[in-house]
Structure 1
Amino acid sequence: MTIRRIGAEGGTGTGGQHLPFSRAVEAGGWLKVSGQTPMRDGEVVEGGIIEQSRLAIQNCIDIMTEAGYGLETVTHVSVVLTDSRYFQSFNKVFAEVFGEHPPARICMVADLVVDCKVEVDVTCYKG
Protein backbone atom coordinates (compact mmCIF):
# COMPACT_ATOMS: atom_id res chain seq x y z
CA MET A 1 0.00 0.00 0.00
CA THR A 2 1.23 3.45 -0.87
CA ILE A 3 1.05 6.23 1.69
CA ARG A 4 0.83 9.79 0.38
CA ARG A 5 1.47 12.71 2.70
CA ILE A 6 -0.13 16.02 1.77
CA GLY A 7 1.67 19.04 3.16
CA ALA A 8 4.39 16.93 4.78
CA GLU A 9 6.65 19.98 4.88
CA GLY A 10 4.39 21.25 7.66
CA GLY A 11 2.57 24.50 7.97
CA THR A 12 2.88 27.61 10.07
CA GLY A 13 1.10 27.89 13.41
CA THR A 14 0.50 30.77 15.76
CA GLY A 15 3.52 32.95 16.37
CA GLY A 16 5.14 31.60 13.21
CA GLN A 17 5.96 28.23 14.75
CA HIS A 18 6.63 25.36 12.34
CA LEU A 19 3.97 22.62 12.51
CA PRO A 20 5.77 19.24 12.33
CA PHE A 21 2.96 17.15 10.82
CA SER A 22 1.28 16.53 7.48
CA ARG A 23 -1.93 18.39 6.71
CA ALA A 24 -3.36 15.03 5.56
CA VAL A 25 -2.33 11.44 4.87
CA GLU A 26 -3.85 9.14 2.25
CA ALA A 27 -3.56 5.34 2.23
CA GLY A 28 -5.71 2.62 0.66
CA GLY A 29 -8.45 5.01 -0.43
CA TRP A 30 -8.63 6.65 3.00
CA LEU A 31 -7.74 10.27 3.67
CA LYS A 32 -7.19 11.55 7.19
CA VAL A 33 -7.08 15.34 7.47
CA SER A 34 -5.24 16.74 10.49
CA GLY A 35 -7.26 18.85 12.91
CA GLN A 36 -7.99 22.29 11.53
CA THR A 37 -8.64 25.42 13.52
CA PRO A 38 -10.01 28.73 12.28
CA MET A 39 -6.62 29.97 11.09
CA ARG A 40 -5.43 31.87 8.04
CA ASP A 41 -1.75 32.40 7.39
CA GLY A 42 -0.82 31.05 10.81
CA GLU A 43 -3.12 33.31 12.79
CA VAL A 44 -6.49 32.57 14.41
CA VAL A 45 -9.30 34.53 12.79
CA GLU A 46 -11.31 36.33 15.43
CA GLY A 47 -15.05 35.83 15.55
CA GLY A 48 -17.83 33.88 17.16
CA ILE A 49 -18.40 30.15 17.02
CA ILE A 50 -20.32 30.39 13.72
CA GLU A 51 -17.49 32.15 11.89
CA GLN A 52 -14.79 30.03 13.48
CA SER A 53 -16.68 26.80 12.71
CA ARG A 54 -17.13 27.75 9.06
CA LEU A 55 -13.43 28.50 8.66
CA ALA A 56 -12.22 25.36 10.46
CA ILE A 57 -14.48 23.21 8.26
CA GLN A 58 -13.47 25.13 5.12
CA ASN A 59 -9.82 24.56 5.95
CA CYS A 60 -10.57 20.80 6.02
CA ILE A 61 -12.45 21.04 2.72
CA ASP A 62 -9.57 22.92 1.09
CA ILE A 63 -7.15 20.14 2.06
CA MET A 64 -9.61 17.44 0.92
CA THR A 65 -10.02 19.18 -2.43
CA GLU A 66 -6.27 19.45 -2.88
CA ALA A 67 -6.06 15.68 -2.26
CA GLY A 68 -8.89 14.93 -4.71
CA TYR A 69 -11.71 14.22 -2.25
CA GLY A 70 -15.17 15.82 -2.04
CA LEU A 71 -17.78 16.23 0.67
CA GLU A 72 -19.49 13.01 -0.45
CA THR A 73 -16.37 11.07 0.59
CA VAL A 74 -16.39 12.23 4.23
CA THR A 75 -17.09 9.24 6.49
CA HIS A 76 -16.32 10.71 9.92
CA VAL A 77 -15.75 14.09 11.55
CA SER A 78 -14.18 14.76 14.95
CA VAL A 79 -15.03 18.07 16.60
CA VAL A 80 -13.52 19.71 19.67
CA LEU A 81 -15.38 22.68 21.12
CA THR A 82 -14.00 24.73 23.99
CA ASP A 83 -17.46 25.33 25.49
CA SER A 84 -20.54 23.08 25.45
CA ARG A 85 -22.71 26.13 24.82
CA TYR A 86 -21.29 26.20 21.26
CA PHE A 87 -22.89 22.82 20.41
CA GLN A 88 -26.13 24.07 18.80
CA SER A 89 -24.39 26.80 16.81
CA PHE A 90 -21.79 24.34 15.55
CA ASN A 91 -24.55 21.92 14.54
CA LYS A 92 -26.16 24.62 12.37
CA VAL A 93 -22.91 25.13 10.46
CA PHE A 94 -22.32 21.38 10.25
CA ALA A 95 -25.80 20.83 8.77
CA GLU A 96 -25.24 23.62 6.22
CA VAL A 97 -22.04 21.99 5.01
CA PHE A 98 -22.86 18.27 5.25
CA GLY A 99 -26.66 18.36 4.80
CA GLU A 100 -26.72 16.11 1.72
CA HIS A 101 -23.90 13.80 2.90
CA PRO A 102 -24.03 13.58 6.72
CA PRO A 103 -21.01 11.68 8.04
CA ALA A 104 -20.63 9.96 11.39
CA ARG A 105 -19.30 12.32 14.04
CA ILE A 106 -17.99 12.78 17.55
CA CYS A 107 -18.17 16.13 19.30
CA MET A 108 -16.37 16.78 22.56
CA VAL A 109 -15.49 19.66 24.85
CA ALA A 110 -11.84 20.24 25.76
CA ASP A 111 -9.21 22.92 26.00
CA LEU A 112 -7.30 23.56 22.79
CA VAL A 113 -3.63 24.45 22.51
CA VAL A 114 -4.60 27.30 20.19
CA ASP A 115 -6.74 30.19 21.46
CA CYS A 116 -9.85 29.47 19.42
CA LYS A 117 -13.30 27.97 19.91
CA VAL A 118 -13.23 24.90 17.65
CA GLU A 119 -11.04 22.32 15.95
CA VAL A 120 -12.26 19.90 13.28
CA ASP A 121 -10.75 16.90 11.53
CA VAL A 122 -12.21 14.69 8.84
CA THR A 123 -11.76 11.16 7.57
CA CYS A 124 -12.66 10.41 3.95
CA TYR A 125 -12.89 7.26 1.88
CA LYS A 126 -12.74 6.91 -1.89
CA GLY A 127 -12.69 3.28 -3.04
Structure 2
Amino acid sequence: MKKIIHTSEAPAAIGPYSQATLVNGTLYISGQIPVDPETGKLVEGIDKETHQVMKNLKAILTEAGMTFDNAVKASIFLKNMDDFAVVNEIYASYFDSGVYPARETVQVSCLPKNVDVEISMIAFKD
Protein backbone atom coordinates (compact mmCIF):
# COMPACT_ATOMS: atom_id res chain seq x y z
CA MET A 1 0.00 0.00 0.00
CA LYS A 2 1.35 3.41 -1.01
CA LYS A 3 0.58 6.61 0.92
CA ILE A 4 1.68 10.10 -0.09
CA ILE A 5 3.08 12.11 2.83
CA HIS A 6 2.63 15.89 2.79
CA THR A 7 3.07 18.54 5.46
CA SER A 8 2.91 22.32 5.37
CA GLU A 9 5.84 22.25 7.83
CA ALA A 10 8.16 21.45 4.89
CA PRO A 11 8.37 23.21 1.52
CA ALA A 12 5.90 22.21 -1.17
CA ALA A 13 7.30 20.23 -4.07
CA ILE A 14 8.64 22.44 -6.88
CA GLY A 15 7.90 19.84 -9.55
CA PRO A 16 5.86 16.74 -10.29
CA TYR A 17 6.81 14.77 -7.17
CA SER A 18 5.67 14.26 -3.57
CA GLN A 19 7.50 15.33 -0.41
CA ALA A 20 7.55 11.64 0.53
CA THR A 21 5.96 8.29 -0.18
CA LEU A 22 5.30 5.64 2.47
CA VAL A 23 5.23 2.04 1.25
CA ASN A 24 4.96 -0.93 3.64
CA GLY A 25 6.66 0.91 6.49
CA THR A 26 9.41 2.42 4.33
CA LEU A 27 9.40 6.19 3.87
CA TYR A 28 11.10 7.61 0.78
CA ILE A 29 11.72 11.33 1.26
CA SER A 30 12.42 13.45 -1.81
CA GLY A 31 15.51 15.62 -1.81
CA GLN A 32 15.04 18.62 0.45
CA ILE A 33 16.59 21.98 -0.28
CA PRO A 34 16.92 24.94 2.12
CA VAL A 35 13.54 26.56 1.56
CA ASP A 36 11.85 27.97 4.66
CA PRO A 37 8.28 26.62 4.43
CA GLU A 38 6.87 29.65 6.30
CA THR A 39 8.26 32.23 3.88
CA GLY A 40 8.87 30.14 0.77
CA LYS A 41 12.30 31.76 0.54
CA LEU A 42 15.73 30.18 0.39
CA VAL A 43 18.00 30.57 3.39
CA GLU A 44 21.61 31.40 2.60
CA GLY A 45 24.96 30.29 3.98
CA ILE A 46 25.95 26.64 4.24
CA ASP A 47 25.29 26.49 8.02
CA LYS A 48 21.77 27.90 7.74
CA GLU A 49 21.07 25.92 4.58
CA THR A 50 22.01 22.63 6.21
CA HIS A 51 19.93 23.32 9.31
CA GLN A 52 16.92 24.22 7.14
CA VAL A 53 17.26 21.05 5.08
CA MET A 54 17.42 18.97 8.25
CA LYS A 55 14.37 20.79 9.69
CA ASN A 56 12.49 20.05 6.46
CA LEU A 57 13.43 16.36 6.68
CA LYS A 58 12.40 16.28 10.35
CA ALA A 59 8.98 17.78 9.52
CA ILE A 60 8.33 15.08 6.91
CA LEU A 61 9.53 12.32 9.23
CA THR A 62 7.23 13.68 11.96
CA GLU A 63 4.26 13.77 9.59
CA ALA A 64 4.90 10.07 8.89
CA GLY A 65 5.16 9.26 12.62
CA MET A 66 8.93 8.81 12.51
CA THR A 67 12.13 10.47 13.74
CA PHE A 68 15.73 10.54 12.58
CA ASP A 69 16.15 7.29 14.55
CA ASN A 70 14.07 5.63 11.81
CA ALA A 71 16.43 6.80 9.04
CA VAL A 72 18.21 3.95 7.27
CA LYS A 73 19.76 5.79 4.29
CA ALA A 74 20.63 9.37 3.40
CA SER A 75 22.04 10.95 0.26
CA ILE A 76 23.77 14.32 0.54
CA PHE A 77 24.41 16.40 -2.55
CA LEU A 78 26.86 19.31 -2.23
CA LYS A 79 27.73 21.96 -4.74
CA ASN A 80 31.16 22.25 -3.12
CA MET A 81 32.87 19.38 -1.29
CA ASP A 82 34.77 22.00 0.74
CA ASP A 83 31.50 22.36 2.71
CA PHE A 84 31.64 18.69 3.76
CA ALA A 85 32.94 19.23 7.32
CA VAL A 86 30.33 21.88 8.17
CA VAL A 87 27.46 19.89 6.66
CA ASN A 88 28.67 16.69 8.34
CA GLU A 89 28.78 18.30 11.79
CA ILE A 90 25.31 19.84 11.49
CA TYR A 91 23.84 16.64 10.00
CA ALA A 92 25.24 14.55 12.87
CA SER A 93 23.73 16.89 15.47
CA TYR A 94 20.20 15.85 14.43
CA PHE A 95 20.75 12.21 15.39
CA ASP A 96 20.24 12.28 19.17
CA SER A 97 20.91 8.56 19.56
CA GLY A 98 24.27 8.73 17.80
CA VAL A 99 23.12 5.91 15.52
CA TYR A 100 23.51 7.04 11.94
CA PRO A 101 22.00 5.70 8.72
CA ALA A 102 23.99 4.51 5.74
CA ARG A 103 24.96 7.49 3.59
CA GLU A 104 26.84 8.87 0.66
CA THR A 105 27.90 12.44 0.00
CA VAL A 106 28.59 13.56 -3.54
CA GLN A 107 29.59 16.81 -5.17
CA VAL A 108 27.38 17.93 -8.04
CA SER A 109 27.73 20.80 -10.48
CA CYS A 110 24.34 22.34 -9.79
CA LEU A 111 21.28 21.83 -7.56
CA PRO A 112 17.68 23.10 -7.84
CA LYS A 113 17.44 26.88 -7.29
CA ASN A 114 21.25 26.89 -7.25
CA VAL A 115 21.39 25.90 -3.55
CA ASP A 116 24.53 24.55 -1.90
CA VAL A 117 23.05 21.39 -0.31
CA GLU A 118 20.24 18.91 -0.89
CA ILE A 119 19.51 15.81 1.19
CA SER A 120 17.16 12.90 0.51
CA MET A 121 16.40 10.15 3.01
CA ILE A 122 14.87 6.72 3.42
CA ALA A 123 13.38 5.74 6.79
CA PHE A 124 11.71 2.57 8.08
CA LYS A 125 9.22 1.78 10.81
CA ASP A 126 7.54 -1.59 11.51
TM range (shorter): 0.7 to 0.9
Contact 1:31 1:125 in 2 (8 A): yes
Q: Which residue of 1 aligns with 2:41?
A: 43
TM-score (norm 2): 0.87
Structure 2 distance, partners of 1:116, 1:22, is: 20
Q: Where in structure 2 are there 5+ consecutive unaligned residues?
A: none
Structure 1 stretches of 4+ with a deviation exceeding 4 A read none
Q: Which residue of 1 aligns with 2:53?
A: 56
Q: CA deviation at 1:12?
A: 5.5
CA RMSD, aligned part only? 1.8
Q: Which residue of 2 aligns with 1:108?
A: 106
- Cα offsets for 1:56-77 (capped at 9, x unmatched): 0110110110111111100011
SS of residue matched to 1:39: coil
TM-score (norm 1): 0.86
User: Letter of the aligned partner of 1:44 in structure 2?
Assistant: L
Structure 2 distance, partners of 1:33, 1:85, is: 25
How many residues matched? 119
Q: CA deviation at 1:39?
A: 0.2
Q: CA deviation at 1:49?
A: 1.0
Identity, % of aligned positions? 29
State yes or no: 1:74 paired with 2:75: no
Q: Where in structure 1 are there 5+ consecutive unaligned residues?
A: 14-18
